[in-house]
Amino acid sequence: MHLAQLNIAKAKYSLESPEIKEFVDNLEPVNKLAESSSGFIWRLQDESGDATDITAFSDPDIIVNMSVWDSIEALKNFMFRTHHRDFLRRKKEWFHNIPDDSYVLWWVPKDHIPTVEEAVEKLEFLRNNGDTSYAFTFKSNFSASDFIASNA
């Protein structure tokens, strides 16, 4: 099985505004870094190469990021041990705090590419039920075996 992830952020500014320009200017390099990272499988993108114009929620200021990885470790390595972490550290400059869970992880079959609708459903499930093997956060790190066992 592979690990899918969705994370969302509520922009403080229009993506065309100078206050968020540094973030926007680094989308392509950070996306390329993800794609070249060990364990990367797939990421959500539109014709422009990113996902900032993909609407998944009624609030147009919420942007989405979705990807699939071969393991939790591969995703963590990209997020926390590459240049990506510098942008995580600065997210308060560009994005509002979201009081509910703003990301979700879940296991998918190796040949499955998740849809945005599937990802939103997983996030809503997590928000309503907390961490389970169906939808979880890094706090619990349910394994693929946990997911398979709970669905047997």
What pLDDT score was predicted for residue 85?
87
CA–CA dist 124, 64 (Å, integer): 14
Average pLDDT over residues 36-40: 97
More confident position, 10 or 51: 10
Residue 152 has pLDDT above 70, yes or no: no
Q: How many CA atoms lie within 13 A of 5 on its CB side?
A: 26
82: tokens are 């590459």
pLDDT digits (tens, 9 = 90+) for 69-89: 999 999 999 999 988 888 889
For residue 147, which of 136, 120, 60, 21 has the smallest C-alpha distance?
136
Q: Check: pTM over 0.85? Answer yes or no.
A: yes
CA–CA dist 27, 7 (Å, integer): 15
Task: State the chain's mean pLDDT as an integer.
Answer: 93
Q: Which domain range does residue 145 map to?
A: 2-150
**Type of residue found at 22:** E
Tally the domains of the chain.
1
Q: What is the CATH number of the domain that holds 71?
A: 3.30.70.100
